[in-house]
Amino acid sequence: MIVGIVVAVAVVGDSEAELAYNEGVNLFERGLFLSSIAEFDKAIQLDSDNVGAYVRRGASYNNISEHQSAIANYTSAIEHKPSHVPAYNNRGASYSLLGQYRRSIEDFDKAIEFDPSFAPAYDNRGRSYYKLKQLDRSKVDHVKACSLDSKYC
C-alpha cells in the first residue's frame, strides 16, 4: 500500500534552528533519512516549537519504516499546532502502514475537518476504507480526491 505523506517546505532564515531544519530538509530530499533525523533533532533541540521539524522528522522515520517513531513526531506536531493538517494526514498514513485502518481514518477525518480541500487526506482515507472492505466509501473518497487534484485520478 502506498500512502501519501505530505511534508513542509524549507524555512528561510539564519538562526541555528532554521539552519539545522534546512539542512535536514536537504538531506531528506536526497534520501538520507538517518542524517536528516539528526538535523531535525538539532532543530527541535534549538526550537521545540518547530512544527515543521517534527513533521519532517516523522516523514524521515516513515521512510525507514519506523512508523511508531513517526507517529510520535506527528503527535508532537499536533500538540504544538492542533490544526496542522499535514500532521494529521501523515499520522493517519503511519497508522495505515501499521494496519490500524480505523485509527488512520480518524486522523484523515480530522485533516479533512480542518481543510476540506486537502486531497491527500481523501485519497489516504479512501485507501483505508478499501482495506476495511468499505468499497462504497473508498470510491467516494477517491472521486473526491480526484476532483480536488488530478494527480489522484
Q: Is the Cβ–Cβ distance between 70 and 58 less than 8 Å?
A: yes
Instruction: Report H helices in 1-153.
Output: 16-29, 33-46, 51-63, 67-80, 85-97, 101-114, 119-131, 135-148
**Above 60 in pLDDT, residue 3?**
no
Backbone angles phi, psi at 19, to 5 degrees: -65, -45
| pLDDT tens string 99-124 | 999 999 999 999 999 999 999 999 99
Q: Is the Cβ–Cβ distance between 45 and 75 less than 8 Å?
A: no
**Above 50 in pLDDT, residue 148?**
yes
Domain spans of the chain, in order of start: 16-152
CATH architecture of residue range(s) 16-152? Alpha Horseshoe (1.25)
- Environment class of residue 111 by beta-carbon count within 10 Å: exposed (0-12), middle (13-18) or buried (19+)? buried
Helix (H, G, I), strand (E, B) or coil at 34: helix
| pLDDT tens string 66-96 | 999 999 999 999 999 999 999 999 999 999 9
Helix axes of 51-63 and 67-80: crossing angle, nearest 10 degrees: 170
